[in-house]
Amino acid sequence: MSDLKRLGKEQASEPLPQEPPQVSASWVLIMSSLFIGLVAFGALQLTNGQSKAGALPPQAVFVDPRSFAVVGQNGTFRESSFASFFNPTNTSPPFFQVFDRSFLDILGSSASIHEIASNPSFAFAHESPIYDSRTDEVFFASNDGGPLGMSDIDNNNQLGKISLKEVEASLKKNTASINATVTNIPLPEEAQMTNGGTGLYRSSLLLINSGRGPLPPSLTLVNPRAPHNATVLVDNFFGRQFNSLNDVKVHPSGKIFFTDVTYGFLNHFRPPPLMPNHVYRFDPDTGAVRVVADGFDRCNGIAFTHDGKTAYISDTGAAGGFLGLNQTEPATIYGFDVDPKTHAFKNRRVFAYVDAGVPDGLQVDLKGNVYSGTGDGVQVWNSEGTLLGKFFLGTTSANMVFAGKGRLVILAETKVFLAKIAAVGQDLNFP
Ligand SMILES: *[C@@H]1O[C@H](CO)[C@@H](O)[C@H](O)[C@H]1NC(C)=O
Ligand SMILES: *[C@@H]1O[C@H](CO)[C@@H](O)[C@H](O)[C@H]1NC(C)=O
Ligand SMILES: *[C@@H]1O[C@H](CO)[C@@H](O)[C@H](O)[C@H]1NC(C)=O
Ligand SMILES: *[C@@H]1O[C@H](CO)[C@@H](O)[C@H](O)[C@H]1NC(C)=O
- Residue 53 has a CB neighbour count (10 Å cut-off) of 14
Report, as an integer, the average pLDDT of 196-213. Answer: 98
Minimal-distance CA residue to ligand 1 atom 5: 74
Q: Could you tell me if residue 109 is inside a domain?
A: no
| Residues 147 and 36 both lie in one domain | no
Ligand 4 atom nearest residue 324's Cα: 14
| Residues 204 and 292 both lie in one domain | yes
| Residues 154 and 290 both lie in one domain | yes
Residue 13 scores a pLDDT above 90: no
Q: Express as a percent the part of the chain with pLDDT over 70.
A: 87
Distance CA 53, CA 55 (A): 6
Q: How far is the CA of 256 from the centre of ligand 3 (A)?
A: 19
The answer to whether the beta carbons of residues 337 and 325 sit under 8 Å apart is no
Residue 385 scores a pLDDT above 70: yes
Q: Could you tell me if residue 177 is inside a domain?
A: yes
Minimal-distance CA residue to ligand 3 atom 11: 223
| Residues 76 and 132 both lie in one domain | no
Q: Could you tell me if residue 359 is inside a domain?
A: yes
Q: Could you tell me if residue 108 is inside a domain?
A: no
Mean pLDDT of the chain, nearest integer: 90
Residue 11 scores a pLDDT above 70: no
Report, as an integer, the average pLDDT of 401-413. Answer: 97
pLDDT tens digit sequence for 341-355? 999 999 999 999 999
> Which ligand minimizes its atom distance to the CA of 176?
2
Q: Could you tell me if residue 105 is inside a domain?
A: no
pLDDT confidence bin for 25, thresholds 50/70/90 = very low
Q: Could you tell me if residue 103 is inside a domain?
A: no
In this predicted structure, what is the pLDDT of residue 14? 34
What is the 3-class SS of the chain, one letter each residue? Answer: CCHHHHHHHHHHHCCCCCCCCCCCHHHHHHHHHHHHHHHHHHHHHHHCCCCCCCCCCCCEEECCHHHHCCCCCCCCCCCCCCCCCCCCCCCCCCEEEECCCCHHHHHCCCCEEEEEEECCCCCCECEEEEEECCCCEEEEECCCCCCCCCCECCECCCEEEEEHHHHHHHHHHCCCCCCCCCEEECCCCCCCCEEEEEEEECCEEEEEECCECCECCEEEEECCCCCCCEEEEECCECCECCCCEEEEEECCCCCEEEEECCHHHHCCCCCCCCCCCEEEEECCCCCCEEEEECCCCCEEEEEECCCCCEEEEEECCCECHHHCECCCCCCEEEEEEECCCCCCEEEEEEEEECCCCCCCCEEEECCCCEEEEECCEEEEECCCCCEEEEEECCCCCCEEEECCCCEEEEEEECEEEEEECCCCECCCCEC
pLDDT tens digit sequence for 107-122? 999 999 999 999 999 9
Enclosing domain of residue 58: 3-92
Q: Is 74 in the pocket of ligand 1 (CB under 6 A)?
A: yes
> Which ligand minimizes its atom distance to the CA of 207?
3
| Residues 191 and 308 both lie in one domain | yes
The residue among 58, 92, 126 that closes a domain is 92
Mutate to test the pocket of ligand 4, among 328, 329, 332, 358 (most ligand atoms within 8 A of CB): 328
Q: Position 137: which residue type?
A: E
* CB contact burial 172-209 (16+ within 10 A = b; e otherwise): eeeeeebebebeebebbebbbbbbbbbbbbeebbbbbb
Mean pLDDT check: name the lowest of 83-92, 170-179, 262-271, 358-367: 170-179
The answer to whether the beta carbons of residues 1 and 49 sit under 8 Å apart is no
CA dihedral over 383, 385, 391, 396, signed as positive or negative: positive
| Residues 7 and 123 both lie in one domain | no
| Residues 73 and 198 both lie in one domain | no
In this predicted structure, what is the pLDDT of residue 21? 37
Nearest to 360 by CA among 394, 410, 421: 410
| Residues 253 and 180 both lie in one domain | yes
Report, as an integer, the average pLDDT of 45-66. Answer: 70
Q: How far is the CA of 73 from the centre of ligand 1 (A)?
A: 8
| Ligand 4 pocket, Cβ-based, cut-off 6 angstroms | 326, 328-329
| Residues 192 and 318 both lie in one domain | yes
Residue 31 scores a pLDDT above 80: no
> Which ligand minimizes its atom distance to the CA of 74?
1
Report, as an integer, the average pLDDT of 191-219. Answer: 98
In this predicted structure, what is the pLDDT of residue 41? 37
| Residues 392 and 326 both lie in one domain | yes
In this predicted structure, what is the pLDDT of residue 218? 98
In this predicted structure, what is the pLDDT of residue 177? 84
In this predicted structure, what is the pLDDT of residue 176? 82
Instruction: Tell me the CATH number at 290.
Output: 2.120.10.30
pLDDT confidence bin for 388, thresholds 50/70/90 = very high
| Residues 316 and 384 both lie in one domain | yes
Residue 365 scores a pLDDT above 50: yes
Q: Could you tell me if residue 226 is inside a domain?
A: yes
pLDDT confidence bin for 174, thresholds 50/70/90 = confident
pLDDT tens digit sequence for 57-101? 999 999 999 999 999 999 999 999 999 999 999 999 999 999 999
Report, as an integer, the average pLDDT of 379-405. Answer: 98
Report, as an integer, the average pLDDT of 215-238. Answer: 97
- pTM for this entry: 0.89
Report, as an integer, the average pLDDT of 130-142. Answer: 98
Q: Length of the chain in residues, anyone? A: 431
In this predicted structure, what is the pLDDT of residue 54? 60
Distance CA 298, CA 260 (A): 8
Domains held by the chain: number: 2
Between 42 and 248, the higher pLDDT residue: 248
In this predicted structure, what is the pLDDT of residue 378? 98
Q: Is the peptide bond before 29 cis (omega within 30 degrees of 0)?
A: no
In this predicted structure, what is the pLDDT of residue 300? 98
pLDDT confidence bin for 46, thresholds 50/70/90 = very low
| Residues 138 and 171 both lie in one domain | yes
Ligand 1 atom nearest residue 72's Cα: 13
Distance CA 426, CA 306 (A): 7
Q: Could you tell me if residue 62 is inside a domain?
A: yes
pLDDT tens digit sequence for 247-277? 999 999 999 999 999 999 999 999 999 999 9
